[in-house]
Amino acid sequence: MTVRLLQGNAACAEGALVAGCRFYAGYPITPSTEIAEILARELPQVGGKFIQMEDEIASLAAVIGASVGGLKAMTATSGPGFSLMQENLGYAAAAEIPCVIVDVQRAGPSTGLPTAPSQGDVMQARWGTHGDHPIIALCPSSVSEAFFLTVEAFNFSEKYRTPVILLMDEVIAHMREPFEAPAGTMVEIVDRMSTDVPPEWYYPYDEHPSDVPPLVSFGEGFRYHITGLFHDRAGFPTQRLDEINPWWRRVMAKIQRNLERIVLYRAEAEVARARTVVIAYGATARSAAHAVKLARARRYKVGLVVLQTIWPFSESLIEQLAGEAQRVIVPEMNLGQLALEIERVVGRHKVRRVNRADGELIAPQQIMAAIEEG
C-alpha cells in the first residue's frame, strides 16, 4: 500500500468509489467542486455515470431516480446548493430512498464567503426540510475520516433506506494529509437488502423485523408506487390513520433503534476523570485537540470528545461522557448550533460556547482561554 498526500475532497471521491457509488449528478460549487471533477473522470472507468445537471434541485432528483434504478448514487454541494436540495431531501426521507449528499460547508448565509470555512449548516442538515423526518449526518475531521465516513455514509444509506448527509467543511475538504488507502477486504461494504418473494407478494413499505423493508430496483419486474405523500405498504397515497401511523413509526424507529450502530465518535480515556470536557467536530476538533494538549501541560483536567455522527444526536452518549463534568466547552464555526443540543442534555449553566462565524477557523488559543476561565 502506498502513502499519498491526499486532499479531503479527493478522499471523499475515492471513498464513494470504494463504497460502490456508480452515479453522480451535481452542479459545480465551491468548495466541493473537486469531488465532481474527480468522479467525472473516474466513474466512467468503472462503468458508472456522471451527469452535470442544470441546478442542485435537479441534481438530487436525478440521484433519487438513479437509486430507485438500483445504483448507489450521490451528489455534492455547499450551502446555497444544499438549500435548494431540501425539498428533494424530504422526498427521499419520506419515500425511503438511499442516497448520499455531501455538503462542504462555507461561510454564509447566502453567497457568504465561498472559499472560507464554516459549520453553519448543522441545524439545516437536521431540520432543513419541512416536517418530522429521520436523518443521518456524519462529519469528518481529517482526510482519512473523509474517506472512511464517505464509505459509512453509503453503508448507512443502503442499510437503513435513508438519505445520509456528509457534513464536511472547507478546511477538511481542501487540506492535504498523508493517506494510505486500505485493502479492499479491510473496508466493509453494505448493499441494500433485496427480497426472495415473488413480485405479486412484494410491498416496498411493509412492516419488517428490522424496520427496514427490502428495496427492489425498478426494472426487475416488481411493480410498485413511489410518492412523497403519506402512503400505504404498496406506496400508494393514503389518508387512513391505521396505515399512516404504523408506517411513520417504523420510519422513525429504524434510526432510533440503531443508535449504537449509527452514532460514531472518539472519546479519550481522560474524559472519565475530566473536570472540563471539550466536545468538537469537523475542523474545529483539530484546534480542540491542540488546546486540550496545551491545557494538560498546565495541569488542567480536560477531556476531548470528537463527534463523527452529528445526527441523530445521542442524548445518552453525551450524558454518559459529559454529564459528570463541571464544565462542557463546545467550539463551533457558527454562532451556536450543536451547543443547543448539548445544553439541553447537560444543562445550559455547564456549557461554555466558543464561536466564530467570520470564515476563520477557531484557534486553539480561543479554546484554551475558555478552559482557563474555569
Last residue of a domain, one of 186, 201, 219: 186
State the DSSP string of 25-40: EE---TTTHHHHHHHH
Q: How far is CA 270 from the centre of its chain?
A: 27
Q: How far is CA 160 from the centre of its chain?
A: 14
Q: What CATH number did the domain enclosing 62 receive? A: 3.40.50.970
Note whether 161 and 270 are same-domain residues: no
- In a domain, residue 240? The reply is no
Using the structure block, give the residue that is written with the C-alpha cell 494538549: 293
Give how far Cα 21 sits from Cα of 12, 145, 181, Å: 11, 18, 17
Amino acid 69: pLDDT? 96
Note whether 7 and 124 are same-domain residues: yes
pLDDT in tens, the chain (374 residues): 689 999 999 999 999 999 999 999 999 999 999 999 999 999 999 999 999 999 999 999 999 999 999 999 999 999 999 999 999 999 999 999 999 999 999 999 999 999 999 999 999 999 999 999 999 999 999 999 999 999 999 999 999 999 999 999 999 999 999 999 887 678 999 999 989 899 999 999 999 989 999 999 998 888 889 999 999 999 999 999 999 999 999 999 999 999 999 999 999 989 999 999 999 999 999 999 999 999 999 999 999 999 999 999 999 999 999 988 999 999 999 999 999 999 999 999 999 999 999 999 999 999 999 999 87
Using CA atoms, how far apart are residues 87 and 105, in angstroms rounded to an integer? 19
CB 125 within 8 A of CB 165: yes
Its domain, for residue 151, covers 3-186
Using CA atoms, how far apart are residues 96 and 31, in angstroms rounded to an integer? 29
- Determine whether 42 is exposed, middle or buried from the number of CB atoms within 10 Å of its CB (0-12, 13-18, 19+): middle
- In a domain, residue 98? The reply is yes
CA angle 129, 132, 136 (to 5 degrees): 70
Amino acid 144: pLDDT? 97
Amino acid 183: pLDDT? 78
Last residue of a domain, one of 143, 164, 186: 186
Note whether 171 and 305 are same-domain residues: no
Last residue of a domain, one of 171, 186, 201: 186
Amino acid 1: pLDDT? 63
Using CA atoms, how far apart are residues 100 and 154, in angstroms rounded to an integer? 6
CB 190 within 8 A of CB 159: yes
Note whether 12 and 125 are same-domain residues: yes
State the DSSP string of 186-224: GS---------S-GGG--TT---TTS----PPTTSS---
- In a domain, residue 236? The reply is no
Backbone angles phi, psi at 113, to 5 degrees: -120, 95
Note whether 171 and 36 are same-domain residues: yes
Using CA atoms, how far apart are residues 131 and 133, in angstroms rounded to an integer? 6
CB 77 within 8 A of CB 29: yes
- In a domain, residue 233? The reply is no
Q: How many CA atoms within 13 Å lie on the side-chain side of 244?
A: 8
- In a domain, residue 237? The reply is no
| Three-class DSSP category at 47 | coil
| pTM (2 d.p.) | 0.96
Q: Give tens-digit pLDDT for 8-49.
A: 999 999 999 999 999 999 999 999 999 999 999 999 999 999
Note whether 34 and 145 are same-domain residues: yes
Note whether 166 and 62 are same-domain residues: yes
Domain count, the chain: 2
Select from 119, 121, 125, 179 the least CA-distant residue to 147. Answer: 179
Amino acid 186: pLDDT? 83
Q: What CATH number did the domain enclosing 270 receive? A: 3.40.50.920
